[in-house]
Copies of this chain bind each other. A is one copy, B any other.
Amino acid sequence: MTQDAFSETPITTASDQVFVDMRREIVEGSIVQGSKISEPELAKRYGVSRATLREALNRLESCYLVERKANVGCRVVALTAERLIEVYQVRSALEGLACRLAADNMAPDEVQSLKQLLNQHLKTQRVKEGESYYQEAGDLDFHYRIIKGSKNDHLIHLLSNGLYQLIRMYRVQMGMVGPRVSKAFDEHLAIINAIENHDGELAELLMKRHISASQANIQTKFNLHAAQNERVEQ
């Protein structure tokens, strides 16, 4: 029984493994967005029966990475501009809430640990400028810790098992290695300070702005991406 990096679901069964593997492949684009999923084909590829694969597909559906239609089949979610906006509207509301709750419920040592982590990220970031992995992981880790700091299990599940993989999918496939790095760190710092001061209202506001900025940034990349694809299609 091993463990996955982001969602803390322990991997015990075969379908757990297939779920985690497929999730990674979808998020990273190895299984391309919008493509149809053939059950027999993928079952053979992962070396499991269709029942096991279908179990995994069900879970992928509940975190919005695939869409099913009865008697028709399964499709990988399509990354559209509209969906990006929708998801970020929801994310803003939920993480805003998480941040407000964290200001009340986060333990002092959790806050300190997060500040420390932030400084550490800042140092390594300056060295490894432009290396996407650290930025991605660092940013996600920051958000993840605050979400957990809300101490609202339902909210935690909704975000980390529900929305975050889809958000990662956009970020990864848009190649988010932007110049927002340093700016994002400042915003992170302001947020954690507000949380430390138990100023929930401010923390919520700052988080919502931070996410809006992130959304704008992704949207720019997205349009760039779309323009490129248009050119290719001609």
Contacts and interface: CB of A to CB of B under 8 A. Distances in A.
Interface of A: 10, 12-13, 16, 51, 54-55, 58-59, 61-62, 64, 70-71, 83, 86-87, 89-90, 93-94, 96-97, 101, 152-155, 158
Nearest to A158: B90
Contacts of A94: 90, 93-94
B16 A70 contact: yes
Q: Among A59, A61, A70, which residue has the most Cβ atoms of chain B within 10 A?
A: A70
Copies in the complex: 2
Query: Considering residues A54, A87, A97, A154, which has the most beta carbons from chain B within 10 angstroms of its beta carbon?
Result: A154
6 contacts: A10-B70, A54-B55, A86-B154, A86-B155, A89-B155, A90-B152
Given A13-B70, A58-B58, 6 more contacts: A12-B71, A83-B153, A86-B154, A89-B101, A90-B94, A90-B154
Contacts of A86: 152-155
In the A-B complex, the 7 residue pairs with the smallest Cβ-Cβ separation, listed nearest first, are: A62-B62, A86-B154, A93-B97, A58-B58, A12-B70, A93-B93, A86-B152
A154 B87 contact: yes
Contacts of A55: 54, 58
Nearest to A94: B93
Contact of A97 (B83, B89, B101): B89
B97 A90 contact: yes
B71 A13 contact: yes
A89 B13 contact: no
Contact of A58 (B59, B101, B154): B59
Contacts of A93: 93-94, 96-97
A156 to B, nearest CB: 9
A158 B158 CA distance: 9
Contacts of A152: 86, 89-90
B64 A154 contact: yes
Contacts of A54: 55
Contacts of A90: 94, 97, 152, 154-155, 158
Nearest to A95: B93
Contacts of A51: 51
